Amino acid sequence: MAIIGISSIHLLATFIKARSMDGETILWQILLHLTFVVSAVALAYIDRLTLPAGKHAAAH
């Protein structure tokens, strides 16, 4: 999850100085950030699937 926070801050800095950057760089940074987010969601989903039966309510 820390990598998503770092990526978010880096992407925010990119948006702040977007006028001086080319569109391709911004696009790649957005895609990289979305990859981190999708990966984290997928890992959380897989973790939830692998919990033993009856443990879902206790995990929250």
Local confidence pLDDT in tens for the 60 residues of the chain:
788 999 999 999 999 999 999 999 999 999 999 999 999 999 999 998 888 776 665 555
- Residues 22-44 as b/e (b if ≥16 CB within 10 A, e otherwise) read eeeeeeebeeebeebeeeeeeee
Q: Where do the domains of the chain lie?
A: 20-47
Q: Alpha helix (H) ranges present in the chain?
A: 2-16, 23-49
> Per the confidence metrics, is the pTM higher than 0.85?
no
- The DSSP code for 18 is G
